[in-house]
Chain A
Amino acid sequence: MMVRFLAACLAALLALPAWAGVNIREITSPGGISAWLVEDHSIPFVALELRFRGGTSLDAPGKRGATYLMSALLEEGAGDLDARAYARALESLAASISYDASDDDISVSARFLTENRDQAVSLLRLALIEPRFDADAVERVRQQVLSGLRSDLADPNDIASAAFARMAYGDHPYGSDGKGTLESVAALTRDDLVAAHRGALARDRLYVGAVGDITAEELGALVDALLGDLPATGTPIPGPAEVTIEGGVTVVPFDTPQSVAIFGHVGLPRDHPDFFPAFVMNQILGSGGFESRLMSEVREKRGLTYGVYSYLMPKDLAAVYLGSVASANDRMAEAIEVIRAEWARMATEGVTPEELEAAKTYLTGEYPLRFDGHGRIASIMTAMQMQELGIDYINTRNDKVNAVTLEDVRRVAAQVLKPENLHFVVVGQPAGL
């Protein structure tokens, strides 16, 4: 299936709304674990989202990839059940549980039918508390991770991201791939995985969201049964990363017809007072809609690319302002020139009243579209807890967008956008760079 414009479509697939309908309650379980709940009994299942702050940045020195491999092994055997027995048990309940590990967190996304919820929760508990890390499972999943790493090494997008991260963050964990390297993953031992598990899944970094067919009382009992036996504290989270990248162009030669570029410089943290003006400004600059300046100039007017985007990326330990574009080898130089010019134009001129108004209407109207389904809502409200946005954030967020003025955008654009600091990492055989 060919999609006219990939990123927007993916976003759209994730989105539908729950406007005034998102009624979040904070509960505290009898055992003292706090969780956010949206009760909705219209469909007999519940979506549960868990996040553990820290993620792959917790890897011990020399053990890069341990947290990632550990999280991939949680479903590969636990308690009395080996990998196959565990998978069969989960399938027979038609429950689904997925695990992911990023730079900032480990996430667990689950959904359980009401009819067998207790059994499904017991299975998830086994995976979180008593994973086996059997030797055969470790080997099997290790080979899968290594296979993925080999593919990444030959993928222009992954090559570009890795090169940019190395330049931006240096020796900080953000500067290398959380999946590890071929060498580091090959060397990981069972003890490394046990230590990663002990350090990453702890209650002092836990965030819980639940949506669906469950009451507050039931959820309290559920989280105590599920999470009460986790250790109280885990591995300390590393300090902030210094963003060290400077302006310029780095070409990574790679024999492929279309060059791929990642570009960026320092950004703004999520709790910065100017975050909202910057967010609204980026909507106009390069959020990806056809109305954004980058898309209009690079794609619609010149046909240089299928897609060009810019985005604020405020992670826990560093904030960057990033963008990406792909263009034929003989056209990439022009694409970069246009992007730099737009970066500079926004920094010096700001936006027009019409652009600001359109961006606000879009952002405030589009916001409810995100609350599409139980799993999506559970994920959003767990992220809200991690970002310390407050339980009423959903109701106040559009006011923050609407409060942004032309002058705010002009001031913040001049402060944040630094065309001379913009670094482009280009993977391919670009001409004239």
Chain B
Amino acid sequence: MMRAIPLILGLMWSGAAAAQGIDDAVTTFRLDNGMDVVVIEDRRVPVVQHMVWYRAGSADEPVGQSGVAHFLEHLLFKATETMESGELSATVAANGGRDNAFTSWDYTAYFQRVAADRLDLMMRMEADRMVNIRLTERDIVTERQVIIEERNQRVENNPRALFSEQMNAAQYLNHRYGVPIIGWMHEMETLDMEDALSFYRTHYAPNNAILIVSGDVDPEEVRRLAEIHYGPIPANPGVPERLRSTEPPQTAERRLVFRDARVAQPYVSRSYLAPERDPGAQDKAAALTILAEILGGGTTSYLVEKLQFDAQVAVYAGAFYRGISLDDTTFDLVVVPAPGVTLQQAEDAMDAALAQFIEDGVDPEQLERIKMQLRASEIYARDNAEGIAQRYGSALTSGLTVQDVQDWPRVLQAVTAEDIVEAARAVLRREASVTGWLMQAEEAMQ
């Protein structure tokens, strides 16, 4: 496999096992009803992870029903035509396995991890709930309370999460990424049976799903079982195209201050609207991925050097970029000021450092270290079949192809110092940014 791995192998001894890359273990195909299948072989241990990813997340929700994608995810553990409420999880547990599910802006995914010889049973149950759920009003009322408590736990009880929601809402002027995945509380409180079932009927279908099976499995056996369990479910020709309202040109810098009595450590957060990885065109995203490492990826990163070593302005500085996204994503910076440093001073120091970086350009040695780590990460990744499954699932539900996933390590290695500075110039535009200050409530300040 001529991908990133051999670049490293040049430096070391050869050997059949070591020459094997991640992609060698991946097989992909499509069922007749349009369901995509990815099989990742990892034969070291007799376990399988079975996942179904839907190309439907919170950004696909109807206006006014924020949180319904996640609500439905919870409800898929209730009854179906053939299973009682809770029976799926109980069956997984009774087979010594674990199960769970998760929802993001662009996808909802369900998984079980279990002994490899139970794959048939897992598929039967997962295929059943793709189209056969049977909800009661009591399910709706109780589970709505659960997701409200979940929001309480994750968001309402956490000023950093509340702040982050406000940042996001300000970043997106017109796109659903500005609405929290878990939903706004006032809309969550109104979610009902029809909202949940409508989302279900619209988006849950084999032609809108990706099956990912990783572990001790034979791709041909997976195909046979998938055809038995998922094959008979008819495609839904009515699955809508994912046309979302898009962002207009962003022309005004946004600033906000979030105050909360529970804030103990104030900080500055900055987000910029940024391009995501697009099929066949991942170079800009690759440059941004490396830019985030260079600016704020750890002890040797540029912002840490400037703000924590050269001057003691910050106790923490970091940069983040999430390239896997169906639509425009964000590039984020965080600076936590040192004692005695105001948020204004911290922000000014951050901006001065960013301007200096664009002037200085990239330290070639730092770039080489980062690329070395990226190459090594492909070796370490082979120890983690679940990580590879996650890589494929999130990419394929975010508009990317198998080829894009397999090209990605090479695209990263091809990024030049010039690409990175150009990406920084293009993305670090204040008019497309939000700057937020998380602060203590005024009455709490002396």
Contact = CB atoms under 8 A, between A and B. Distances in A.
Interface stretch (B120-128, B139-147, B217-225): B139-147
B382 interface: yes
B152 A258 contact: yes
A111 interface: yes
Interface string A39-67: 01111110000000000000000000000
Contact of A361 (B95, B143, B380): B95
Dominant secondary structure at the B interface? mixed
B437 to A, nearest CB: 16
Contacts of A40: 44
Contacts, number: 232
Contact of A300 (B18, B100, B142, B379): B142
Contact of A87 (B94, B101, B298): B298
Dominant secondary structure at the A interface? mixed
Given A44-B18, A115-B8, A256-B262, A12 B300 contact: no
Interface string B73-116: 11001000000001001100111111011111000000101110
Interface string A155-187: 110000000000000000000000000000000
B88 to A, nearest CB: 10
B388 to A, nearest CB: 11
Contacts of A260: 157
B174 interface: no
A84 B115 contact: no
A15 B100 CA distance: 13
A23 interface: no
A362 interface: yes
Given A15-B98, A21-B45, A258-B149, A291 B90 contact: yes
Given A154-B262, A257-B156, A289-B89, A41 B17 contact: yes
B96 to A, nearest CB: 1
A239 interface: no
Contact of A289 (B93, B157, B370): B93
B299 A84 contact: yes
Contacts of A129: none
Interface in B353-395: 365, 368-370, 372-373, 375-377, 379-380, 382-386
Interface stretch (A26-34, A369-377, A385-393): A369-377
Contacts of B74: 4
Contacts of A113: 8, 12, 376, 379
A46 B113 CA distance: 25
Nearest to B441: A255
Contact of B45 (A16, A84, A114, A115): A16
B346 to A, nearest CB: 13
A13 to B, nearest CB: 7
Contacts of B373: 91, 94
Contact of B93 (A115, A150, A291, A374): A291
A262 interface: no
B102 A303 contact: no
Interface stretch (B29-37, B163-171, B308-316, B410-418): B308-316
B265 interface: yes
Contacts of A228: none
A25 interface: no
A358 interface: yes
B89 A92 contact: no
B328 interface: no
B129 interface: no
A42 B369 CA distance: 25
A143 interface: yes
A42 B102 contact: no
B11 interface: yes
Interface in B305-348: 305, 308-309, 312, 315-316, 336, 338-339
Interface residues of B, number: 86
Contacts of B369: 88, 91-92
B97 A43 contact: no
B374 to A, nearest CB: 9
Contacts of B215: 16
Contacts of B226: none
Contacts of A275: none
Interface in B242-276: 261-265
Which of A40, A258, A291 is the most central at the interface, judged by chain B CB atoms within 10 Å of its CB?
A258
Contact of A150 (B96, B265, B309): B265
A374 B385 CA distance: 12
Interface in A102-122: 111, 113-115
B49 to A, nearest CB: 7
A405 interface: no
A144 interface: yes
Interface string A292-303: 000000011111
B70 interface: yes
Which of B96, B114, B336, B377 is the most central at the interface, judged by chain A CB atoms within 10 Å of its CB?
B96
Contacts of A255: 261-262
A41 B157 CA distance: 47
Nearest to A9: B100
The 7 closest A-B pairs by CB, nearest first: A365-B96, A303-B145, A94-B376, A258-B152, A154-B264, A115-B12, A87-B299
24 contacts: A2-B104, A2-B150, A3-B101, A16-B42, A16-B47, A16-B386, A43-B382, A43-B383, A45-B379, A87-B298, A88-B369, A91-B369, A91-B372, A113-B379, A115-B12, A144-B315, A290-B77, A299-B146, A302-B145, A303-B142, A304-B145, A328-B148, A364-B96, A368-B46
Given A1-B102, A94-B372, A375-B383, 11 more contacts: A5-B100, A16-B47, A44-B379, A87-B299, A91-B373, A92-B368, A113-B12, A144-B316, A146-B339, A368-B115, A372-B386
